Structure 1
Amino acid sequence: MNTTTNWNLQGSYFEACNCETACPCVWLQPPSEGNCKLLVAWHIDSGYLNSEKLDGLNVALACYSPGHMKEGNWQAALYVDERATDAQFDAITQIFAGKLGGHPAILMGFVTEVWGIKKVKIDYQEQGNKRQLIIPDIAQATIESIQGIKGGDATIDNPPLCVVPSHPAVVAKSSQYEYHDYDKAWKFTERNGYYSPFTYQP
């Protein structure tokens, strides 16, 4: 059995949820509405698992927390770029399912139910201070950063809970958020978003 976990992912990410801006969950406070409906997207600029290259692929995660996020019991679904080969799909699934350590393992440690894992078309877009995710017939989210008092983007660094600990998160607000899959139907606007570069490794 191959136990090597030589992997690294670098790229950009963004997330949107149903909390008010900025989401209190990163400070280990209760979600604004008592639960969290989270959608996260990653674009891998460069990445690998052992000899398997993962450059240019997109990944998304839908996650539901029924209460305080630090208490766990999250439910989640993973979406992998349809352009991934079977070997790339397997590598991404292992990493983002938390089987190979690193920050994904910490996040997935809160998940108690996985709705499913599937290959889909994922369109990840960056335009200035806007980010957009489109998964046809499943999800669509658009967020735009909030400007800080000194100019530039408002950011949060080193909170106790976050999707990406490697970089400060730009605070954003959604203009659109829709998710329809696994008997879930979420739709709202003007709620929280974050984005930043990311680095994951064991």
Structure 2
Amino acid sequence: MASTASSDKSDRIATRSKISAKLDNPMRRKATPTDWAINGELILNCSCTVFCPCVVSLGAHPPTEGHCHAWMGIIIDDGHFEGEDLSGLNVGLLVDIPGRMGEGNWKVAAYVDDRASGKAYNGILQIFSGQAGGTTGLFTKLVSEIIGAERAPVVIERDGTKRRIIIENKIRGEIEMVTGKNNEEPVIVKNTKYWMGPDIIVAKGNKSRIRDYGRVWDFDGRSAEICPINWRGERKFSYDKNLKKIVQR
């Protein structure tokens, strides 16, 4: 379990604390190599009507609807930030991308597990803003506006082939793996160069919605993904303007 469970109340940050009070404006952020790691699973559901074209195009192909609206959930099975334990915590993201993923201008809101200590909370915000460098360092280039960050009860459930996320009445979703010819095994896109991880399990949204920050989105039946993650502070990705895709350096 994370060290957050035993932290006292003085180490906690009030719900709805805004990221602007903790981090620089996105246009001024720079990725700085930091000692952090997250091992676990990322789940997401987006507005694409077929499986996410970003996985194989590395963000170069436009979303099926011309834009990408999505929620993401991150289960941290094991992790740390500068010596602070992050294990057992969950993170939710609201993501609003106006066009191709690799071209940036993302607007993002973060929901950090309300069990997190102050150090864990700030560390998670640095990781998911890109400021901590490494795997998520490309967010300093892709995210143009952080519309908010707050503590919340972020519940993520693993239930066989299904995954569920509940963040109060703001984000509620259930996704399910798509099975292949062998009905006992999911369809997996393997050995990719996708920034999230090389192996992506194809899924679809069952019931899914966002109701926060003025967004009213529904993703029932839309594209979804489940990705085992092994992220580190030293791994670096960037957007290659010539190749028009996200690459690892």
For structure 1, which runs of at least 5 residues remain unmatched after alignment? none
User: What is the aligned counterpart of 2:39 among 2, 6, 10?
Assistant: 10
More strand by share: 1
Work out the CA distance in 2 between the residues paired with 1:172 and 1:197.
13
One-letter amino acid of the structure 2 residue matched with residue 24 of structure 1: P
Partner Cα distance (1:94, 1:188) in 2: 28
SS of 2:99 mapped into structure 1: coil
Deviation at 1:100, TM superposition (A): 1.3
- Alignment equivalent of 1:36, drawn from 60, 68, 79: 68
Change (3 A) 1:103 1:4: closer
Runs (5+) with no aligned partner, structure 2: 1-31, 234-249
Match of 2:50 among 15, 18, 21: 21
* One-letter identity of the residue aligned with 1:43: I
Answering whether residue 84 of structure 2 is matched by residue 52 of structure 1, we say yes
The alignment's TM-score, normalised by the length of structure 1, stands at: 0.92
Q: What's the CA shift for 1:4?
A: 7.1
Taking the aligned partners of 1:161 and 1:8, their CA distance within structure 2 comes to 18
**Local SS of the residue matching 1:29:** coil
Q: 1:91 aligns with which of 95, 118, 123?
A: 123
% identity of equivalent residues: 33
Kindly indicate whether the alpha-carbon contact (under 8 Å) linking 2:128 and 2:139 is maintained by their aligned counterparts in 1.
no
Q: What is the aligned partner in structure 1 of residue 181 from structure 2?
A: 149
Q: 1:153 & 1:70 partners in 2: Cα distance?
A: 27
Task: Give the letter aligned to residue 136 of structure 1.
Answer: E
Q: Does the alignment pair 1:192 with 2:223?
A: yes
TM-score by length of 2: 0.75
Partner amino acid for 2:53? P
Provide the residue aligned with 2:202 in structure 1: 171
Q: Which amino acid aligns with 1:156?
A: V
Amino acid of the residue matched to residue 199 of structure 2?
A: P
Q: Distance in 1 between matches of 2:103 and 2:191?
A: 20
Aligned length: 198
Comparing 21-30 and 52-61, the one that deviates more:
21-30
Q: In the alignment, residue 74 of structure 1 is paired with which amino acid?
A: W
* Separation of aligned partners in 2, 1:112 and 1:196: 25
Greater C-alpha Rg: 2
